[in-house]
């Protein structure tokens, strides 16, 4: 079968598209990559929260899925909204790689610790978590793709930056990893480390099946079902510091998730377990318990502040 793969043109997005292409090829399918520029790629100097975060990196891609110009779109799973627009669905999740956030530094003798230093990150989740566990550390806003961020750091903006291991690994910057953050403190963003395949419901079923068979990793899919159900119930957009990580343990799924106030003072992190078959219910139950444990108040405050 021949599959047309739509993707953004950033280096990370292209890595993901080639990764999917390779998996399709191994399963005996040919494919081509179609690069699509989105509004989010064109507007570089305005904070995403100001353009309205919904769909700025996906609208143009979804238009091509809907009219059949492309068969699938490839995304970082963690960048996908918890509610997709009507008619779109995620049909596969690639095997998740190491989920941790990492500290990347250009300084040879860099030591990550709770002592004065400047760390670059624009993620509200990472900023609040640093404030909670490492109050001595100062943060500075840093934007752009990985290459741009590393350049800004080397030019002196900060001592180190916080990134997802997955992106650092995909871009080949292992040698700059100074420290791997524990998932106990830095619970990652929902979906971190997996690549998601989006289609329009009109795509023919045989193609959907073939693509799912070539790319989907069942254990990752179950974990992401729980995590995305959690995010969906909270209606947390990407600028809200909620986190959630599910892992398979035998026939069970173990989930750790919560929310943190923007100043880092109030942090909720709960653990729940259920059987794999109840992955989605587990995510929803987690959201209800996080809200009931004070998360509702934190979420309300965050929405007022952002």
Ligand X SMILES: NCc1[nH]cc(CCC(=O)O)c1CC(=O)O
Residues near ligand X (CB under 6 A): 76, 78-79, 163-164, 166-167, 192-193
Give the residue closest to ligand X by C-beta: 167
Sheet with 101-104, edge to edge strand ranges: 137-140, 117-120, 160-164, 101-104, 177-180
Residue 28 structure tokens = 């005996």
The minimum distance between CB 144 and ligand X, in angstroms, equals 11
One of 41, 45, 79, 159 is an active-site residue; which one?
Answer: 79
CA distance 304 to 137: 25
The minimum distance between CB 265 and ligand X, in angstroms, equals 24
Closer residue to ligand X in complex, CB, 165/203? 165
The minimum distance between CB 45 and ligand X, in angstroms, equals 17
Closer residue to ligand X in complex, CB, 192/222? 192
Please give the biggest Cα pair distance in the chain: 57
Q: Which residue has 């959690």 as its token pair?
A: 230
The minimum distance between CB 283 and ligand X, in angstroms, equals 19
User: SS in 3 state form for 223-271?
Assistant: HHHHHHHHHHHHCCCCCCCEEEEEEEECCEEEEEEEEECCCCCCEEEEE
Closer residue to ligand X in complex, CB, 14/291? 14
263 is catalytic: no
Closer residue to ligand X in complex, CB, 210/226? 226
The alpha carbon of 160 is separated from its chain's Cα centroid by a whole number of angstroms, namely 21
Helix 205-215, helix 11-26: angle, nearest 10: 100
The minimum distance between CB 76 and ligand X, in angstroms, equals 3
Q: Give the residue from 191, 198, 195, 193 showing the smallest Cα distance to 5.
A: 198
| Residues catalogued as catalytic | 79
């Amino acid at each position: 079968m021949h599959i047309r793969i739509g993707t953004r043109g950033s280096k990370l997005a292209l890595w993901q598209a080639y990764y999917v292409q390779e998996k399709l090829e191994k399963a005996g399918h040919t494919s081509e990559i179609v690069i699509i520029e989105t509004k989010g790629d064109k507007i570089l100097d305005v904070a995403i929260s100001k353009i309205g975060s919904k769909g700025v990196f996906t609208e143009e891609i979804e238009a091509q899925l809907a009219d059949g110009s492309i068969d699938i779109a490839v995304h970082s799973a963690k960048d996908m909204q918890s509610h997709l627009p009507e008619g779109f669905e995620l049909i596969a999740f690639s095997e998740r790689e190491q989920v941790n956030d990492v500290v990347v530094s250009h300084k040879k003798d860099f030591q990550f610790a709770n002592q004065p230093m400047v760390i670059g990150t624009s993620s509200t989740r990472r900023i609040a978590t640093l404030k909670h566990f490492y109050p001595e550390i100062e943060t500075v806003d840093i934007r752009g793709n990985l290459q741009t961020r590393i350049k800004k750091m080397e030019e002196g903006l900060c001592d180190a930056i916080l990134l997802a291991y997955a992106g650092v690994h995909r871009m080949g910057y292992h040698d700059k990893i100074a420290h791997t953050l524990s998932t106990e403190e830095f619970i990652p963003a929902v979906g971190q480390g997996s690549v998601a395949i989006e289609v329009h419901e009109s795509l023919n079923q045989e193609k959907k099946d073939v693509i799912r068979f070539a790319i989907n990793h069942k254990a990752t899919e179950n974990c992401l079902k729980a995590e995305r159900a959690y995010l969906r119930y909270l209606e947390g957009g990407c600028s809200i510091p909620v986190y959630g990580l599910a892992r398979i343990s035998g026939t069970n799924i173990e989930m750790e998730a919560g929310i943190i106030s923007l100043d880092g003072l109030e942090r909720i992190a709960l653990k729940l377990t259920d059987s794999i078959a109840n992955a989605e219910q587990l995510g929803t139950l987690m959201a209800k318990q996080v809200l009931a444990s004070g998360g509702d108040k934190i979420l309300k405050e965050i929405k007022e502040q952002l």
